[in-house]
Amino acid sequence: MGDIIGGIVWSLAPTVLVGLLFWLIMRAIVRADRTERKVYSRMENEERARRGLAPKS
């Protein structure tokens, strides 16, 4: 019985680990994009304020 459970764990481990790695990478990409968009929006609003234009929402 222990050999069967061990085989199941060893056969599922690579799939679970690759899925976890993929999730972590995608999460980092989405967070970086979100942060970059916030910074760019803030910079754009500052530039618009400097030029006397209405801020973009």
Going from N- to C-terminal start, the domains of the chain cover 1-46
Tell me if the pTM is above 0.95.
no
Q: How far apart are CA 54 and CA 49, in angstroms?
A: 7
Please report the pLDDT score of residue 22 as a whole number.
Answer: 98
Distance of CA 26 to the CA centre of its chain: 4
Please report the pLDDT score of residue 52 as a whole number.
Answer: 86
Please report the pLDDT score of residue 55 as a whole number.
Answer: 74
Flag residues of the chain having pLDDT under 50. none
Please report the pLDDT score of residue 41 as a whole number.
Answer: 93
Please report the pLDDT score of residue 53 as a whole number.
Answer: 82
Q: How far apart are CA 9 and CA 17, in angstroms?
A: 12
Please report the pLDDT score of residue 57 as a whole number.
Answer: 65
